[in-house]
Structure formats: structure tokens, C-alpha cells
Amino acid sequence: MSTETEDGHDDHHLPAVEDWPRGFGEASWWPFVTALGAAGIYIGVALWIIGDAISPLLGPAAVAGSVGLFLVGIYGWLYHAFITKFWSRDTTEHGHASLRWGMIAFLGSELATFGAIFSYYFYFRAGAEWTLPSTTPDLISSLILANTAILIASSFTLHWAHVALRDGDRTNFLRGMGLTILFAVVFLGGQALEYFEFIGEYGFTWTQGVYSSAFFGLTGLHGLHVGLGAAILGIVFVRALYGQYSAERHLSVSTASMYWHFVDAVWIFLVVVLYVGAGQA
């Protein structure tokens, strides 16, 4: 909503910030909406697993609704944090530092989430009775190698785009951003193909033990992050087409790059642990 201050300036806030205590005029409900959607995803997955005891449709419906709420929250959060600030031109060095540290804090929470699931996996992996399901397919395939190479390449193209922007080369900035988004879409397509082969051809599903649940849980969670990263980069790309970035103004490009490089690093660790190390005694 938009409110008018005493000096006559139009102060744009999202959403109704007048409900916040005095001194917190820049606060936003969007992080809470995002967190609610993220929590709902976990609850929906749990309902999906025990769905036969309640309703087979309850879990998938909860997951779908929570993903939608999460994406709406992310959109509002990004809009409030970047787009309104860009058009009002009221960003400061302090604001830049705050947003960068905000992204670092967010990545810290993401690291904790992945770390908790990996800890669960390592705990059971260390057990004396550790075995892989009999339906486990060949994990080191040409598909996974190609998909990994594509995701690693996307970090290089994004870095190339960011460097080009800082050098004032708008053409290569757009090319690099476009290639990065293309690589992200191809990676998600490759992961969907992998799931189709594992489930349809080998009968390897998430209900066949610790390894299968960890495999689908971690790769699925990572795929969700890749999809979110692709959406964020897509927003950046559209804004770039409108000429909103320059060598001096590229804060959202920097923060989006931080997120994307984090997602790539997690995937490399995931491949080493779940694919390469799965069958090692």
C-alpha cells in the first residue's frame, strides 16, 4: 500500500506497515508469508507420507498450496526489497550492506536446513546394517554427469554476466544471464528425466529405506531451490531487459549470484555424498 508522509512525499510500503510498532516502518509481512509457505511444504510432505491413513489427496494439496504461498512470499519480499527501492532511488550504502547481510543470513538458514538432513543421512549411514535397496539403479550415469556439468557451467556464465555488467558491457551481461537461466531449465529437465527413469524403469522410490528417502528428499529439496533460483534470475533478466542495471547499480544481481553459487556448491556436495559415496563401504 502507499501512504503519504507529513512532508508530502509518497511512502511506498508493502504490506500494511502501520500495524507495526513505532520505529519499524520498514518492516514487512513478506518474510513471514515466505516462512509460512516453507513450513507448509514440510508439513505437506509429512501428510503425503501418512496420506493413506487420512486422505491420499491431503498431502499433495498441502504441498501445492504451500509452494504457491512460498513463491508469492518470495515475490513480495523481492519486490519490497529491490524493485520499490530501485524506482524510488532511496537506496544507501547502509541499505546495500543490510540487504547483502540479509542474504547471507538467509543462506545460513538454508545451510542449516541441508545440514540437518545430511546429518540424518550420515547418522544412519554409519550404522552396521547399512544396505542399499535392491532396486537402486546405476547412480553414476551419463545423465547425472551431464547435469552436474551443466549446473557448474551455469555458475561460470553467471559470473561472466556479473563481471560484464560491472565493466559496463550490457550485451554480454544479457547473454550470460540468458545462458544461466537456460542451463537452470535444462538441469531441472534432466532431474525430472532421472526421476522418471528411477521410478518408472527401476521401481526405485522414496519409500524403500533410509537411502531412498534421503536421496529423494535432498535432491528434491535442491531441485526446489534450483527452481526458485531460476525464478529469481528470471526476474533479474527481465529487469535487465528494461535497462534497470548499470555498473553502479547491481545489488540484486549480486545477491541473486550469491544464492545461485550456494545452490551449485550444495549440488556438488550432494553428488559426492549421495551418488559417488552411496555404495562405498
**What contacts 149, CB < 8 A, 6 or more positions away?**
none
- Between the two ends of the chain, the Cα-to-Cα distance in Å is 59
Gap between the Cα atoms of 10 and 79, Å rounded: 17
pTM above 0.75, yes or no: no
Q: Which fold has domain 93-281?
A: Four Helix Bundle (Hemerythrin (Met), subunit A) (1.20.120)
User: How much is the pLDDT for 173?
Assistant: 94
Domain boundary assignment for the chain: 1-90, 93-281
Each residue's pLDDT expressed in tens, for the chain with a length of 281 residues = 444 444 444 444 444 444 434 433 445 677 788 888 888 887 887 777 776 666 777 878 888 888 888 888 877 777 776 666 555 454 454 455 666 677 777 788 888 888 888 888 888 887 756 778 888 888 888 999 999 999 999 999 999 999 999 998 999 999 999 999 999 999 999 999 999 999 988 888 888 888 888 899 899 989 989 998 998 899 889 888 988 888 877 788 888 899 999 999 999 999 999 998 876 65
Gap between the Cα atoms of 208 and 235, Å rounded: 39
Gap between the Cα atoms of 170 and 244, Å rounded: 11
Helices (H), the chain: 30-49, 58-78, 84-88, 93-125, 142-166, 170-196, 210-241, 251-270
Gap between the Cα atoms of 33 and 76, Å rounded: 9
**What contacts 166, CB < 8 A, 6 or more positions away?**
247, 250
Gap between the Cα atoms of 213 and 211, Å rounded: 6
Cell representation of residue 214: 534421503
User: How much is the pLDDT for 15?
Assistant: 44
User: How much is the pLDDT for 83?
Assistant: 62
Helix (H, G, I), strand (E, B) or coil at 140: coil
The backbone region for 88, taken as left when phi is positive above 0, alpha when psi lies in -120 to 50, beta otherwise, is: alpha
Q: Which residues of 56-85 are buried (b: 16+ CB within 10 A; e: fewer)?
A: eeebeebbeebbebbeebbbbbbebbbbeb
Contact status, residue 181 vs residue 150, Cβ threshold 8 Å: no
- Give φ, ψ of 243 to 5 degrees: 75, 30
User: How much is the pLDDT for 128?
Assistant: 56
